[in-house]
Structure 1
Amino acid sequence: MSHPYLDESFHVRWSTLAPAAVEADITLALERAEQKLAEVVNQDRGRLSFESVIMGYEDALRELNESWGLVTHLDSVCNGPELREAHNKMLPKVSAFFAKIPLDEHLWDLVLTYSKTQEARDLTGTQRRAVDELLAWFRQHGAELPPAKKKRLEEIEAELSQATQKYSENVLDSTNAWDMVIDDVAQLKGLPQSAIDAAKADAAAKGLGTPEAPKYRFTLKAPSLIPVMEHAEDDSLRKRVWEGNGTVGRGDKYDNTALVWQILRLRHEKATLLGKPQFADYILERRMAKTGRTALTFTEDLHRKVKSAFDREIVDLQEYRADKTNTDVRLLEPWEVAYWSEKRRHERYDFDHEELRPYFPVDGVLSGMFRIAEKLFDVRIAERQTTFTAVGDGSGSETPAAPAESGAVEVWHPEVKFFDMRNADGVLIGGFYADWHPRDSKRSGAWMNYLKGGWPPNGERDRRPHLGLICGNMTPPVDGKPALLTHDEVCTIFHEFGHLIHQLFGNVPVPSLNGVNVAWDFVELPSQLMENFCWERESLDFFAKHNETGAPIPDDLFKKLINARNYMSAVSMMRQLSFGKLDLELHINHSTDENADLDRLGRTLLKDYIFPTNTEPPSMARRFGHLFSSPVGYAASYYSYKWAEVLDADAFTRFQHEGVLNPKVGRALRDNILSKGNSEDPAKLFRDFMGRDPDPNALLARAGLA
C-alpha cells in the first residue's frame, strides 16, 4: 500500500500505519481536499443543487477527516516519539487548512448563493436543517469578517492547535514521569488484594523485584491511584500519591501554567474578533444554553440548591474522623478525604465497593451490556476474531496482517477487541473497537470516537456502516486472571457505550448532522442515560455475574449498593459543579488575567464549591484535558454534564415506569433520539421521547437532594 492512511477499506489495517507514512499521506489528503473543494466552488452557478453544494462540500472533506482521524487516534492510544513528531509536523498544516474553509470568500459565496435559490427555499426537514446549520457554521467561524480579521483568525487557530497539543503532551508525559515503588508490603495495609497484586505485577513488568523479594509499583493512572487514596491506612503513603498527582501538568518541564493562559487569551481574542464579548457566548451560541450567562446561572442555581447539604456532609465527615481518632474536629488534609469517606461509607452501610469486583469481570460486563442493548434496541452484537501485527516501516511493502478470507480484524494492540452490530434483519449498522486498559502510550480517561461516519441508503448513495471505538483505563488483568472492575468503572463503560450507540444508530443521510454531531450540551444525554442500567436489579442481572460461580449479586449486597448510592451525593455533585464553574469563570471573566496566580484565582472562584482542606490543592486547570487538550473540546461547556444529567435523570423515569428493559421504550429512545443526530432541535427530540419538556427537579430527586 503506497498510502496506508488513505486506504478506503472498512476495517483499518493498523499494521501499515507507520509514523513514516503520515507526512506523505496527510499532504496528499490535503491536496485532494483542496482540489475537491475547488471543484465544488467552480461548479455551474445556474445548476446548483443540494447534492452538488451541501453534499459535495461534505464529500470533499471526508478523506482528510478520516485519514487525519487515524493519526490523532493513534496519538491517543499508541503515543511514541516518532508518531508524536509526525503528528506535530502536520498539525499546523491541517489546522490551517480547516481554519481557512469558513474564511474562503468564494466557498461562502457559493453556499450563500445556493441558500437563496428556489430549490433551497423549498427544502424541508433534514435538508433544510443542513442548509441552515451550514450557514450558521460559516458565520460563526468568520465568513463575514473583513480580510485583516480573517488573517488573524487563521493565525489564532494555528496557535491554538499547537498550544493545546503541547498541553496534552505535558499531561501525558508528567503522568508517566511519576511512580512510587514500595519494598515492604506491610506499608500497603488496608489496600484491596486486587490493588496489591496489580502493583506487584506492574513492578515485575518493569523489571523491579523478584519472586522472593517482590516490589510494588504505583502510578498516577486511575486503577493504581484510586485504591491507595481510598484504602491505604498509611497516611504518608496517601500523601505521597496525592503530591505526585499534583505534579501532573505542574512544575519543571511539563508545566502547563503559561499554556493555560495562552489558550484562554487566544480563545478570548477569537471570540472578540467574531463579535462576541467572550468565548463562552461565542461557543454556546448554537447550543442549548445559547449564552455563557445561561450556563453560569444554571450552574449557580444547582449550587444554591445543594449547598446546605454539601456543608452538612463536610461537617459530618470531619466529625467522624475526629471521633474515630479521638482528636479535635479540624479541616481534613486532601489525602484524607477519600480515605475517611470510604471508611465511613463502609461503617454506615456495611458496604465496600471491593465486594462487587468479583461480579464485574470485564468480558462479562461487556457481554451483558450487549445483551441489554440487543433486547432494548432490536440489534445483534457479535465479537469478531482479531489479529495484531506490529506496525511496519511505512515503506508500503507491508504484508496484510490478516488475509481478508480469514475474517480476522486487525487491531492496534493485542488487548483491543472488535465487534459488529447488526439490525435484527442482519443489515450491518457498524463495527467498533474496544480498548479498556491503561498503557504508558495511552492517554488517561475514557472516551468514544468514530473513525468512519456512516449513513443510511439515500438516492444513489448506498448504506455506509459506521466504524467507532470506545476506550478507557480500567483495572487491568493480573497474572492471567480476568480483569475485575469496580462499579464506577462499569458505569464508565456503559457511559461510553451510550456515546457509541448514539453514533452507530445515527440514521441521518447528511453526515455532518448524523450520530454524535449534536449540540454539546445534548451529547451527554445518551451516555449518562445508559449509566442508569448499572443501578437497576433487572439490568444488573444481565451482566453482574460472579467470575467464578456465575451467581448474580446477592440481594443483601445489592441493597447495600442502592442504600449507599446517594452517600455524600452533595459533595459528589458539587465537585462536578466546581469543574463547570471554573471552566465558565475562566472563559467569561478571567480569560485575560495572565498575571494572576492560577492557584489563588481558582481558590477564590471556587470558595463555596470545593471541599475545604488544610493543605490547599493546586489548580485543576493545569491537567484539565477536557478544557485545554484541544482547540475547543469542552471549553466553556463542562456544565454540559450536569445539563444533560437533568435530561437523563428525567428520561430514565420512562424506563422505570414502563419497564427497565421494555423494548418498546428502548425502540422509542432509538427512534426519537439516538437515530436522529442533529436533524432536529434537541429540545424537540426530548419532547418526542418523553411527551413533555424536562422536569428540572429530576436530577436532585435521583440524588436524594430534592
Structure 2
Amino acid sequence: MQALSSPNPFLDSVFEVRWQRCRPECVEPAIVEALVEARGEIEKIATQPLEGLSFESTFLALEKATERLGTAWGLVTHWQSVADSPALRQAHNAMLPQVSAFYSSIPLNPELWRRLKAFNESAAAGEVQGIERRLMEETLADFVQAGADLPDEKRARLAALQSELAQVTQKYSENVLDATNAWELIVEDEARLAGLPEHAKEAARQSAAGAGRSTGWRFTLHQPSQEPVMVYAQDESLRRELWEAAVAVGTREPHDNTALVRQILTLRAEKAALLGKPNFAEVVLERRMAQGGARALAFVEDLGARAAAAFAQDTSELEKFKAAQTSEPVAKLAPWDLAFWAEKLRQKKHAFDEEALRPYFALGSVVEGLFELVRRVFGVVVKERAAGAAEVWHPEVRFYDLFDADSGEQLGSFYSDWHPRDAKRGGAWMNYLRTGARSADMRTPHLGLICGNLTPPVGERPALLTHREVETVFHEFGHLLHHLLGEIAVKSLNGVNVAWDFVELPSQIMENWCWEREALDLFARHYETGERIPDALFEAMSAARNFRSATFLMRQVSLAKLDLLLHTDSARYLAASDIETAIRAAIAPHLVPTEPSAPTVLTRFGHIFSDPVGYAAGYYSYQWAAVLDADAFTRFKREGLFNRQTGRAFREAILSRGNAAPPMELYREFMGREPDLQAHLARSGI
C-alpha cells in the first residue's frame, strides 16, 4: 500500500513535513481519511479466503495497513505537544477517541485474528524466517496480550476501556500543562533576588518584558526559571513560594488531577482483570526484560537497600551542615531548603559551583561537539540545513540530515527544539515522525525530533547550559540515534520500538561522555574566550559527581516504587480515602525527611499518567537501563572513548537492530555476557 500524496499536510507523502501548512482545521479531514483507509485495509485482510493465506497477505499486510494513519496521527500529536492552542487541542481531542478505538479494535477483530492464527498454523508459516519470523512472533504476542482470545463481551468492554483511558490520560496531561502555565510570580523588589546568578535575573527580567511588564522580574514553573531560585535564592520566602506552587500542580481546580488518578488506576485494574492478569504491571511487563511486577519491584527495593546507608548519611550531613551555618539545632530541613543548602554544602566540600561551568556550555558548541563525538565513535556525520531550507513549527527549530561517514548514504533527518514556550509541554523527549527501513536493494531514511526545555539565550548572550542540561542533550540524541540508525526491514521492529526497560540504554550511555575530559574538550569551551574548562574546575566537577548521589538514586527508587505499587496493588490504594496519603506512607523510607513533609508527584507524574500506558509500571526502566549503560560503557573505557571499532560494535549490536531479537540477546552480542550491577553502583559511588 503506497502512501498517497495529498494537499493535507498531515497526509502529504513528502519526507519533510510542511509545518507551515498545518492548521487545526486540517486535523479532522486528515485523520478521518486515514482511518477510512486503514479500516479498509484491515477489512481486506480479515475477509480474505482462509485458503491460500500468505505471509504477505496477513502479517505483512497488517504491518502496512495502519502506516499512513500512524504517521498522520504522530504528526498531529507532536504538533500539539509543541504548539498547543485551544483550536488545536479541540481538534486533537475530537479525533482522539476515534483513533484510540480503532487501534484497540485491531487485536479484538475476531476474523482478523482467525486469519493470523490460520496462517501461523499453516505449512507455509514454517518457511518464514529471520526478521519476518520475528514480526510474526511479536504480532501474535501483541494480539494475545491485547485480548484477542477474549470472548465477545469482554473484547467490547476492553475496546471501550482503551478509548476512555486515552481520553482521561490526555486530560491529565493537559491539566499539568495548563496548571504550569497558569502560574507566574512577579518580583518588584530586587533585594529578594539576592544570590541568584546574573543569567537567571536577566532571564526573569526578559520574561517580564516579554509578558508586557516594564518593571520587575517574572518567574514561572518552567524548569529554567524555577531551578535557579530553588538552588541559589537567599530569600527563603521566595523559594517557598515557588516550591508551594510547583507541588500544587495538578491539585487545584480547574486543573485538579486527583480524581483522574483514581479513574486511571481503576480503568487499568479493570483492563488487567479482563486480560486475566492479577494487576496492570503484569500486563505491561510480561514481555519486557523484567518480565513481571514482582521482579521489577525486587530490583527497585534491592537498589534502595544498597543505597540506604549512604542516603541516611547524606541526610544527616546536610542537616548538620545547615545547623552549623545557622547556629540552629540540628533538625529536618524544609523541602524548599534542600536544594539551597545542598548547593552550599557542595561548594564547601568540593569548592565547586555548578554555575561556574555555564560559560563553557554554550548550546551551539555543545551540539557541535556532540556531532563530532558521534562522528568519531559511531561513524555518522550530521549536517545542518540552512535556515528556511526545511519548514519548521517554530523559528527556533533547526533541521539536520544524518549520513554514514563511510558510504555517504543518508540515514535520516531530524528537528531540534530546545527552549521552553507556554504552548510547549515540559520536559525533554525524542520522538519519531517517519520510520524508514532497510530492504535487500534499498534503504529509506528515518525522520525524528528532539525537544527540551533548556535554559534559553538572554539578550545577545547564547544559551548557556548547566552540566545536567548538557547530559539531557546527549541523552535525547542517544534516543534519536537509536531511531535514525535502524537497519531493520520491518518498520514496526525498527529503531526505538523495543522493550521500554531496554530503550533507555542508547540514551543513557551517551551521558557518560559528558564526564570524560577527552570528550568535554570537543565542545566545552568558554563562550567568550574559547578556553577549555580549567583543570581545577574539571577536577572539582569530577570530585563532586557523586555528591549526594545516594539521595538522587533514592529519589529514583521512590518514583519507581510509587509507580510499581500503584500498578501491582491498585486495589489497596483505590480503597484508601486518599491515595496520596497512602502511597506516600508506602514510599516514606525512600523520601528525604523534611518539615513539613513534601507531597509526592502523584498529580503531576506525566510519565505514568499522561498516556494510556507510557511509563506506567515501567518507571523502574531508568534504573534498569542505568545498570546496562554503566556496564556497557566499561567496554568504551577499556577500549577507547573514541574507538571506532567499539562504536561500530555498539551500532551494529544495539543501535541498528531495533527489536530484531530479544534485548538480552543484543546486549550479550555487544558485551559477550549479561550485565553486571556493580558498574552502576560504582559509578554512583555506592
TM range (shorter): over 0.9
Report the alpha carbon displacement of residue 661 of structure 1 after superposing the two structures with TM: 1.0
Deviation string, structure 1 residues 233-268 (Cα, Å, up to 9, x no partner): 010000000011022111121110000010011001
Q: Which residue of 2 aligns with 1:393?
A: none
Q: Say which of 531, 534, 539 aligns to 2:511.
A: 531
Sequence identity percentage:
52
Matched, 1:441 2:400: no
Structure 2 residue 666 is the aligned partner of structure 1 residue 685: yes
- How many residues are matched? 679
Structure 1: give runs of 5+ residues left out of the alignment. 388-407
TM-score of the two chains, using structure 1 as the length reference: 0.95
RMSD of Structure 2 on Structure 1 (CA): 1.1
Q: How does 1:54-69 map to 2 (within 5 A)?
A: 54-69=59-74
Secondary structure at the aligned position of 1:252 is classed as: coil
Displacement of 1:313: 0.7
| CA shift for structure 1 position 2 | 3.8
What residue is the counterpart of 1:246 in the other structure?
247
Q: CA offset at residue 619 of structure 1?
A: 2.5
Contact 1:181 1:215 in 2 (8 A): yes
Q: 1:542 deviation in Å?
A: 1.0
Assess, with a 3 A threshold, how the Cα gap between structure 1 residues 507 and 591 changes in structure 2: closer, same or farther: farther
* In structure 2, distance between residues paired with 1:596 and 1:78: 38
Q: Is the contact between residue 31 and residue 95 of structure 2 (CA under 8 Å) also seen in structure 1?
A: yes
Would you say the 8 A contact 2:573–2:582 is kept in 1?
no
- 1:454 is aligned with what amino acid? G
Match of 2:304, as an amino acid? H
1:285 aligns with 286
Deviation for aligned residue 1:546? 1.2
Matched, 1:451 2:433: yes
Contact 1:191 1:227 in 2 (8 A): yes
Are 1:611 and 2:592 an aligned pair?
yes
Q: 2:54 aligns with which of 46, 49, 52?
A: 49
CA contact 2:9–2:17 (8 Å) conserved in 1: no
- Describe how 1:240-319 pairs up with structure 2 within 5 A: 240-319=241-320
Superposed, which structure 2 residues align to 1:622-701 within 5 Å?
A: 622-701=603-682
Q: Which residue of 1 aligns with 2:138?
A: 133
Offset at residue 44 of structure 1 (A): 4.6
Residue 122 of structure 2 corresponds to 117
Deviation at 1:43, TM superposition (A): 3.6
Distance 2:57 2:480 in 1: 30
AA at the equivalent of 2:265:
L
Structure 2 partner of 1:578: 558
- Where does structure 2 lack aligned partners over 5 or more consecutive residues? 1-5
Q: Contact 1:261–1:591 (CA<8 Å) still a contact in 2?
A: no
TM-score by structure 2 length? 0.98
* Match of residue 162 from structure 2: 157
Deviation at 1:36, TM superposition (A): 1.4
Instruction: Specify the SS of the correspondent of 1:56.
Output: helix
SS at match of 2:590: coil
Q: Determine the C-alpha separation between the residues in 1 that align with 2:77 and 2:56.
A: 30
Conservation of the 8 A alpha-carbon contact between 2:573 and 2:583 = no
CA distance in 2, matches of 1:624, 1:91: 21
| 1:395 paired residue number | none
* Cα offset, 1:106, TM superposition: 1.1
Q: Which residue of 1 aligns with 2:88?
A: 83
Q: Given residue 284 of structure 2, which amino acid in structure 1 is its aligned partner?
A: I
Residues 559-586 of structure 1, C-alpha deviations (whole Å, 9 max, x = no match): 0110000000100100011000000001
- Give the secondary structure class of the aligned counterpart of 1:432: strand
Shift of 1:464: 1.3
Task: For 1:515-594, list aligned pairs within 5 A.
Answer: 515-591=495-571, 593-594=573-574
Secondary structure class of the residue paired with 1:420? strand
Structure-2 residue corresponding to 1:188 = 193
**What is the CA–CA distance in structure 2 between the aligned matches of 1:470 and 1:555, rounded to whole Å?**
32
Stretches of 4+ aligned residues off by more than 3 angstroms: 42-47, 591-595
Matched ranges for 1:348-367 at <5 A: 348-367=349-368
Check the 8 A contact 2:495/2:657 in 1, yes or no. yes
1:114-147 per-residue CA deviation (whole Å, 9 max, x = no partner) reads: 1112232233322211111100000000100000
**Residue aligned with 1:103, SS:** coil
Distance 2:268 2:262 in 1: 10
Does the aligned pair in 2 maintain the 1:538–1:661 contact within 8 Å?
A: no
1:50 deviates by 2.5
- Work out the CA distance in 2 between the residues paired with 1:107 and 1:592: 38
In 2, the alpha carbon distance for the partners of 1:118 and 1:185 equals: 79
Paired amino acid for 1:384: R
For 1:335, the equivalent position in structure 2 comes to 336
For 1:598, the equivalent position in structure 2 comes to: 579
Corresponding position of 2:17: 12
**Pairwise CA distance, 1:591:** 4.6
Q: Which amino acid aligns with 1:269?
A: E
Q: Is the 8 A contact 1:386 1:411 kept in 2?
A: no
Distance in 2 between residues matched to 1:591 and 1:32, nearest whole Å: 41
State the AA in 1 paired with 2:666: L
Query: 1:186 deviation in Å?
Result: 1.5
Q: Which residue of 2 aligns with 1:430?
A: 412
The equivalent of 2:3 in structure 1 is: none
Q: For each residue in 1:661-699, what CA deviation from the matched residue of structure 2 results, as whole angstroms up to 9, or x when unmatched?
A: 111111010001110101011111111101111112111
